[in-house]
Amino acid sequence: MPHGTALLQAERQAVVDACHRLAGEGLLIGTAGNVSVRAGEHVAVTATGVVLGRVTPADVTVVDLAGSVVAGELAPTSELELHLGIYRRWNAGAVVHTHSPQATAISLVLDELPCVHYQQLLLGGAVRVAPFAVFGSDELAEHVWTALDGKSAALLANHGAVVHGPTLPAAVDNALLLEWACELYRNAAAIGAPRVLDEGQQAAVVEAALRRGYGRTHRIEEDL
């Protein structure tokens, strides 16, 4: 059985820290969900059946991109192939899968979460809902990969959510943003039909963000 406790030690700790933060925010509940980060040809991923709010580095397994365990003593998550497929297709740096309350609620009702706020553009705009399939199945992985085309987030019908990012902090931020967007939509829908940003409005936001460097700090330029 593989051991290799020193392999990807920093990445394993990063996965632990991400799990604790997401659990603290209410996005990871009990054993439901999984988190991974890629380092070259290896992936550090949460083991199956661990309580994610109490996960330790020993509960994080290291696999190669073919899915073979190279370090750790616990079997990786049943959604391993879903994670690995995202790494292969989009060269992502990290993947987060949750059963978070707001995202899961939206997945029970909608076929797509429309773009109702410009911050959703950080996820690719409207978020598709992948059709239901049994957890851990090849069918589910295929549905999610299709839903993620051109996006960094997808909802899984009657199941939860998957996001990816270039880094683990970015993937965590995407998970939090998706949960916020789902809650925003639910709150608005309780009042009336939410307004949706059309393609022209979305393009205008993208243009303004690029022109103004939105999301980055700037020094105040002194007048000469």
Which residues does residue 44 pair with via DSSP β-bridges, in sequence order?
37, 62
Catalytic residue numbers read: 79
Scan for tokens 């290896």, then name that residue.
Answer: 42
Look up residue 69 and give its two tokens.
């365990």
Q: What is the 3-state secondary structure (H, E, C) of the chain?
A: CCCCCCCCHHHHHHHHHHHHHHHHCCCCECCEEEEEEEECCEEEEEECCCCHHHCCHHHEEEEECCCCEEECCCCECCCHHHHHHHHHHHCCCEEEEECCHHHHHHHCCCCEECCCCHHHHHHCCCEEEECCCCCCCHHHHHHHHHHCCCCCEEEECCCEEEEEECCHHHHHHHHHHHHHHHHHHHHHHCCCCCCCCCHHHHHHHHHHHHHHCCCCCCCCCCCC
